[in-house]
Amino acid sequence: MELSIFLGKVVAWYLVIAGASILINRNFIKEYTKGFSKNAALLYFAGVISLIIGLMMVISHNIWASDWRVVVTIVGWLALLKGIVLLVSPSSMIKVARAWRDSIFLSISTIILVLAGIYMLYGLYF
């Protein structure tokens, strides 16, 4: 349970802080993703980091419970999937990022991530 609490706190704070920064700096995020997709080395590095983080989380915390711990598990699987896609088919990830960046889905998905982080923080601290 200690690992769940540690990872839960890291993931929860990440979701809230990263989500808030996307909502506050939406135009910067759009420009950032444009530049990111043009840098092959950065895409590869992001894939490696996502793969490592995803593998560590999935191997150490693959808990499908009906509480905040499932969010940690889902984030781990998503990081693993992102890492694999970035390494195997970076052009696919670029297409997804462009579609996400240029739609209302950016705001909706970010709000969902912030709410998931708040839900986790509540479960962890109260």
Q: What is the pLDDT of residues 30-83, one digit of tens each?
A: 788 778 888 889 999 999 999 999 999 999 999 999 999 999 999 999 999 999
Contact 121, 12 (CB under 8 A): yes
d(CA 5, CA 19): 21
pTM: 0.88
SS3 101: helix
What is the per-residue pLDDT for 32? 80
CA angle 13–24–116, rounded 5-degree value: 35
Question: Residue 115 contacts by C-beta under 8 Å, 6 or more apart in sequence?
Answer: none
Please state, in angstroms and as integers, the Cα–Cα distance from residue 91 to each residue in 28, 37, 54, 59, 69, following that order. 22, 9, 20, 27, 32
pLDDT for 50: 98
Beta carbons within 8 Å of 94's beta carbon, 6+ residues apart? 37, 43
Tell me, what's the pLDDT at 117? Answer: 97
Question: Where is pLDDT greater, at 95 or 112?
Answer: 112
| Nearest-angstrom CA–CA distance, 14 and 113 | 10
Region 84-101: mean pLDDT is: 89
* pLDDT bucket at 87, cuts 50 / 70 / 90: very high
Look at 101 and 54; give whichever has higher pLDDT.
Answer: 54
